[in-house]
Amino acid sequence: MAIRGYKTIETENSIRGFFEQYRPLSNFHVSPFTYQGRIWKTAEHAFHAAKTDDPAWIESIWGADSPSVAKHLGRRCPLRSDWEEVKDTVMYSILMAKFIQSEALENLLLSTGDKYLEETNDWGDKYWGRQFDGEGLNRLGEILMRIRSELR
């Protein structure tokens, strides 16, 4: 089933959009895992909580009812001073934890073979993803491909 009408575009060489059977590649996919001694509902929760050093904000983000709420809170929290320098490393660490703690998720990621992975979106994320028009850095896809390579 597609999320909000979105569908994954899969070709011989690429997977664009983490919907349907590839939804678990999304940071919004609910798949509890342990990161830095705490069980997180989603990678989205863990990532946004990592943006801040403020314990009250971390608790609020951790307890958020959904990844959307966690993201909303993470956009409002006070950022740690080194956030821009460490955010890619933090994302890598969170995703590695998510995938190595679930055999099913690890197998799904490995099943993508050598295909290019792209977090295709139309919600304005040009850093972690790429717009349907091709604009964006796709850092999330790049990190997933790196993890996939390392897991082999």
For residue 61, CA distances in Å to 26, 27, 74, 106 come to 18, 14, 7, 26
CA–CA distance, 10 with 97 (Å, rounded to integer): 26
Domain range annotation of the chain: 9-151
Report which of residues 1 and 23 the model is more confident about: 23
Encode pLDDT of 85-137 as tens digits.
Answer: 999 999 999 999 999 999 999 999 999 999 999 999 988 899 999 998 889 99
Pick the CATH number of 9-151 from 2.40.420.20, 1.20.1090.10, 1.20.1630.10, 1.10.357.40: 1.10.357.40
Encode pLDDT of 40-79 as tens digits.
Answer: 999 999 999 999 999 999 999 999 999 999 999 999 999 9
- Residue 1 confidence (pLDDT) above 60: no
Q: C-alpha 98: how far from its chain's center? A: 9
Joined together, the tokens standing for residue 57 give 């904000």
For residue 58, CA distances in Å to 27, 38, 74 come to 17, 11, 9
What's the predicted TM-score (pTM) here?
A: 0.94
